[in-house]
Amino acid sequence: MRTSLPRSLVLGGAIATSLCIGYALGAQPHMDEAVAILQSARAELGKAEPNKGGHRERAMGLIDQAIAEVRAGIAFAAGH
């Protein structure tokens, strides 16, 4: 005797599988984590005293540039 799965279960499994595949192809967990770490570093620098001869401000600017580059990389990967 052969038993078949209900169609709703098969359809649900197919949808879940396609969502997982789409997530795996579009997810950038390391890039996302890099943005979070950079944002945290910038926040810490923002709390520091500005008595560093301009180096703190330059570092914050470089972090802003790094965040922009990482986000651009995420966007590029999403389009390809």
Do 22 and 47 contact (CB within 8 A), yes or no? Answer: no
DSSP per-residue codes, 27-80: --HHHHHHHHHHHHHHHHHHHS-S-STTHHHHHHHHHHHHHHHHHHHHHHHHT-
φ, ψ dihedrals at 53, nearest 5°:
65, 30
Other beta carbons within 10 Å of 70: 19
Q: What is the pTM of this model?
A: 0.68
Provide the residue-wise pLDDT of the chain in tens; the chain has 80 residues: 555 666 665 556 656 555 555 455 568 999 999 999 999 999 999 999 999 999 999 999 999 999 999 999 999 999 98
